[in-house]
Structure 1
Amino acid sequence: MRRRLALLVAATTCLVLVAFLVPLAVLLRAVAADRAVVAATAEVQSLVPFAATASLTELTDLAGRSSRPVTVYLPDGSVLGAPAGRTPAVELAARGNSLTAAAHGGREIVVGVQGRSDGAVVLRTFVPDAELSRGVTRAWLVLAGLGLTLVLLGLFVADWLARSLIRPIGELSAVSHRLAHAELTARATPAGPPELREVAGALNHLAGRIQDLLRAEREDVADLSHRLRTPLTALRLEAESLGDPAEASRVTAAVDGLERAVTGLIREARRPSGAPVEPCDAAAVVRERVAFWSVLAEDTGRTVTLDLAPGPLMVATGADDLGAAIDAVLGNVFAHTPDGTGFAVTLTADAVLTVADEGPGLPPDVAERGASGAGSTGLGLDIARRAARTLTVSASPRGGAVVTLHL
């Protein structure tokens, strides 16, 4: 924007200067030429009264005393003073005319003197081009310097105006980027023209509104999650009242896991926006969640293969988020494959988690949020994708599904 505004001002200023300075330069040259011609004419005219009555000797002295070269043409054809040939202008002046005519290298001024007894005498002087244009070059240089100064002044003013516009626009852009990176406390300082100040105020109002809506949504999620604690407590009491200790222990463990998930959900909902996430050991989390699902796999006759890289393997994902992602992927295995279908879980040293099953596979669009082929919510793989850097779903050589998460 600064460059475009500077180019616009420079082009406009140059056009105005050309329209103004070119005619002025031509006028200065014409004025200088007229000044030189007028001065030479006045000097020659001052000699006319003496030439009308002077003798030949006096005419010779008169031509020699002039400050510029003067040629005197006598009626008998002889020439006194500065030597010069008879030109058509001299012939016209001999008939009683006085004129200024263009000649090679300048202008000649001829004056006819009448009233002598021996005939008309012609006085001639010559003004060279150097005298006609004396001072013109310096005047043109002054005009050029003035034009350049005006252009530079215009560019300076244009740059100052552009900076006064770009600075608040840049601040608005920076604030919008900070808001896009979940820094909802960012605010713009109204500055610049009234339009930009209005935009800054609207952006601040939008940021505040987003912050209020997000806070209300998080509180709703936290409240809803907190309401689940009452039925969980009742479920725990029912589990403890079971007659079979082994069954009661297994149900209680499941209730504990559900309670931890609810607690993690409440903590995540109340976590400030943009707060750093505490990294976790991916190997430990994967081992724990696979052990949890292995109980159900044993009941349904599934073979579980676990291949973990040596830990600890720290990743920039919270333990609760990673556990929820693993649960979502493994839950799909149980939901979309028949009993007895085995699956394998692999975690490499470069934090790539792969879950491959031997089932019928998944639809191509199952990774999209809300997509489901089994009557579920369709949010499982979307939760896993948000916990990982990338998520891909492909088919295994045996026809099953392969879900790969780059943590």
Structure 2
Amino acid sequence: MKRRMINSLLGVVLVVVAVFCVPLALIEKQTIVNAANDRVDAVALRVLGLVESRLAAGEPVSGEKFAAVVAGDDYYVTVDIPGQSQIALGHPVRGDALSATETGASGETVTAEQSRTALDHEIGNMLLLLGVVALLAVQAAVALAVWQAKRLARPLTDLAETAERLGSGDPRPQGRRYGVPELDRIAEVLDTSAERIARMLTAERRLAADASHQLRTPLTALSMRLEEITALAEDPGTVREEAAIGLQQVERLTDVVQRLLTNQRDPNSPTAVTFGLDEVVKQQVEEWGPTLRDSGRRLVIEGLRDARVIGTPGTVSQVLATLIENSLMHGAGTITLRVRRSGSSVVAEVQDEGPGVPRELGNRVFERAVSGRNSTGIGLAVARDIAEADGGRLELLSLRPPVFALFLAHGGD
């Protein structure tokens, strides 16, 4: 591309130089020739004037009387007077010459000649000057073409690299501008596309991380239920009960996946309904009972009964499961799930007897990748996000003992 730009600009300059210099050279040459002819005519007229003045005064005409007119110039002048011999001044011109002849009133004739050597030299100097100017113009055009080609080629190279990086999965915007409106517009569009792709990739990665984290708990519970079914296969009643709980876990998995996808597409479109909180609490007791027994811990339910709240049962169940799992992993002792009224809200609190949340963390435990222990730091962040998307609010009420509270809108009696 650079070579084509240089050749194009150089071709334009050469055409301009040719169109400008050739006519100028012809005009200047003709001007020089005309000026030289005028000078020869002027010499002949001056000599003729002297001759006529001498004849009118009755004085003899000789070469030394008007030799000063042609002294120092490369002229050859002859004077022909009727009845007298020819008078010659200067040296005869060899080769081509410029000539002018003037005739006086008494029949006298003056002929002046000048060698074309001086004329050819002047024309040569003029052509040389034009050639130097044309050469300088071409050199300046080449330099300008190279500079302009680099100026335009570098942005295109950068834009091509940006597009290649976008295609290879590197969506970092460059933020470069080049002072050319068209190129700056392309760069702006590419940067906007890069930012959009970066947001999409971030959202996809967050969805994958959230899904893997949020599906882990119900999958663990389902696995434990299946183990219970396997261990109690001799008791049909127990098998049916455990199978029913396993189906509930499958439904919860489906709801978790649907909730994650819904939040990914449009986090501001909750499907809230009015439901009884006791059913969700009961589900948590059934779900976490075996795990807590195996860990030598227990889950205690306290507070308000028959509370009705506004939200999505699957979402509330998912948030409470995350809080119980957090207490199981990072806490100690008895886990208490307490339900109470607070103004127009119903609050579900999860508390344990562990060391609590480090003071330097505080509410930062809800930030992604922030954890006080050796964990992913995703669970609480996802729980707060889906709680807020469902119209609720998840808060840390106390560091020691740790108390996490899910605020839900009261659904009436």
TM-score (norm 2): 0.47
- Larger RCO (CA under 8 A, 6+ residues apart): 2
